[in-house]
Amino acid sequence: MAIGYVALVLHAHLPFVRHPESDYVLEEEWLYEAITETYIPLLKVFEGLKRDGIDFKITMSMTPPLVSMLRDPLLQERYDIHLAQLEELVELEAERNVHNGHIRYLAEHYATEFNEARQLWERYNGDLVTAFKQFQDTNNLEIITCGATHGYLPLMKMYPQAVWAQIQVACEHYEQTFGQAPRGIWLPECAYYEGMERMLADAGLRYFLTDGHGILYARPRPRFGTYAPIFTETGVAAFGRDHESSQQVWSSEVGYPGAAEYREFYKDLGWEAEYEYIKPYIMPNGQRKNTGIKYHKITGRGLGLADKALYDPYWAREKAAEHAANFMYNRERQAEHLHGIMQRPPIIVSPYDAELFGHWWYEGPWFIDYLFRKSWYDQGTYAMTHLADYLKAEPTQQICRPSQSSWGYKGFHEYWLNETNAWIYPHLHKATERMIEIAHLEPEDELQWKALNQAARELLLAQSSDWAFIMRTGTMVPYAVRRTRSHLMRFNKLYEDVKIGKVDSGWLEKVELMDNIFPQINYRVYRPL
C-alpha cells in the first residue's frame, strides 16, 4: 500500500506563431523542433508504457496556442516539409561519414529517430492533439488548460474582464477540443494573485498550480506545506511546486541535465558544417541556424564548445536510467519522511516545462520512460497520480488564502515587468479599456461582428507573456517587439473602424487569415462581470 503520491506535471506551451503571409519565418520552427524533439518522443514513451501494461499517470497542460498550432493545416504541411529536410540531411550525413565510424553511428541514430517520428506523424495524420487525447480517454494522461494566450494574469488584475477572458476563452477552447470541461489549470508562469480563485471557480475549474511559496506563505500557514493541496474559500484547490524534486531536474548546478554524458545543446551541425554543404538546410537568406543534429556531449564543466567529446546515445541512455533510479529513490525517502510527520499520504508535485524533456534535455523522454517503469516495478512506497485523482482520494484539506507568487526570478512579477518590457503595459492597458468599451456594442451587421471578435483575438495575442519574457531574456527580441506592436496596431485599427462604423473588409479578411486562433470566440466575454 503506497504511503504517498508523486504527480509529474508537464507544461506544454508555445506562443502562437503562424505566418501564412510569408514562405519562411524562423520562429515557426519553435513548433517544428518541439514536435520532433518533445511531443513525438513523449507520445512514443506513452505508447510504449501502454503496450507493456504499465498504468502510468501523468498530468500535462496543453495551452490553447499550442493546440491551435498543432491542429493547423498550414503548420502541419510546413512541419511535413521540415521533417523531410531533416531526413534528407541525415541521410547525406551517413553517406558523407561512411569512413568516420562514430559520426556515422550518430547519423544513423538520428535517421532512425526521424524515421520513427515520420511513422508516428503519419499514423495520426499529423493530428498530435488526437494522439494525446487517446491517453486522456484511458485516464493515463490528464490534460489541463492554461490562460487563453498565456497572459500574465497578476499584471491584468486591475481589469477583471481581461483576466476573465483569458480564463473563460481557454476553458471554452478546451471543451471544443477535448469534448469535456477542464478540471485544472496551469496558471501562466504559475502566477497567482489573491482573488483570482473566484474566477477559476466561476469557470468550473477544480484546481490550479502555483509556485511553492504561494502555498508556504498562505494565510493561515498550511500545516503540511506544499505536500498537500489547500482549498481556497471558493472550493478551488491550489497545488504548490515541490522545491526538492524541481531542483534535481531544473538546477543548472546540481540538476540531471548537466551530466557529462548527455548531449550538448549548443553545438549543432547547422553552425559547424561547411557553408556550401549545409546551405540548403539553413535559412533561405543564407543565415545559419540549428538543425537539431548534434554530435557532441556536454563532456565536462568549464569546457569550451571546441573541446566537447563525441556523444554516445548508449551511455546517455544508461545515465538517464541511473538518474530515474535516483529520482525514484529520493521520492521514496521523501514520501517516507513526510508520511511519518504528516500521518497521512503526502503528494509531491513536480512541475516542469514539457519542452525541457527532449528539446533542451535530449534524454528527458528516456528519463520519464525509466521513471514510470521503475516506479511501477521497483517500489511500492509512492503511487504516481493525477492531481484530480488525488483530490478524489483525499477530499479533506485545509482552507487557506494563497500568497501572490510566480515561478519566475525571485518568485514574483519582475521578470515580466522590468526595464526591458515595461513599455508594453500602458499600451496593453489602454487596449484592454478599449476592448471593454466596445464589448458593450451590439453589431449592426456580420462585418462588425467579425471585427469585434477579431479585436478580442488581437488583444489576447498581444497579452501573451512570452513576448515580455523574450524581451527580458534578450533572445529574439526584435520578433517579440514586432509581435506585440503588430497585435496592438491591428487591435487599435479594429477599434477605430468599429467606432466610426466603417470596417475595412479586405484588410479584416487578411488579419483573420493570419491570426485565426479561437474561431468560435465571442467578444462579449469582455463585458463587465
Cross-strand bridge partners of residue 382: 4
CA angle 14, 15, 17 (to 5 degrees): 110
Separation CA 416–CA 469 (nearest Å): 6
Alpha helices of 35-127 — where are they, by DSSP H? 40-51, 64-70, 73-96, 101-123
Alpha helices of 97-179 — where are they, by DSSP H? 101-123, 128-137, 160-178
Q: Which residue has the cell 481581461?
A: 162
Separation CA 12–CA 66 (nearest Å): 7
Q: Is 255 annotated as a binding residue?
A: no
Q: Which of 353, 394, 504, 512 is catalytic?
A: 353
Please enumerate in sequence order all residues whose Cβ is within 8 A of that of 215, keeping only pairs 6 or more positions apart, or say none: 222, 225, 226, 230, 238, 239, 240, 400, 402, 403
φ and ψ at residue 280, rounded to 5 degrees: -65, -10
Separation CA 207–CA 219 (nearest Å): 18
Which residue in 206, 146, 131, 152 sits closest to 388, CA to CA? Answer: 206
φ and ψ at residue 494, rounded to 5 degrees: -60, -40
Q: Is 258 annotated as a binding residue?
A: yes
Q: Is 466 annotated as a binding residue?
A: yes
Q: Which residue has the cell 567529446?
A: 309
Q: Is 23 a catalytic residue?
A: no
Please enumerate in sequence order all residues whose Cβ is within 8 A of that of 21, keeping only pairs 6 or more positions apart, or say none: 510, 514
Please enumerate in sequence order all residues whose Cβ is within 8 A of that of 502, keeping only pairs 6 or more positions apart, or say none: none
Q: Is 268 annotated as a binding residue?
A: no
CA distances from 329 to 26, 326, 348, 366 (A): 42, 5, 13, 17
Please enumerate in sequence order all residues whose Cβ is within 8 A of that of 288, keeping only pairs 6 or more positions apart, or say none: 270, 271, 275, 278, 282
Alpha helices of 378-476 — where are they, by DSSP H? 387-393, 424-438, 446-462, 465-473
Separation CA 292–CA 284 (nearest Å): 17
Q: Chain centroid to CA 476: how far? A: 18
53: how many CB neighbours lie within 10 A of its CB? 7
Q: Which of 189, 211, 363, 515 is catalytic?
A: 189
Cβ atoms of 304 and 45 within 8 Å: the answer is no
φ and ψ at residue 231, rounded to 5 degrees: -95, 130
Separation CA 111–CA 128 (nearest Å): 21
Q: Is 433 a catalytic residue?
A: no
Residue numbering of the annotated binding site for substrate = 241, 258, 407, 466
**Catalytically active residues, by annotation:** 189, 353
Residue numbering of the annotated binding site = 241, 258, 407, 466
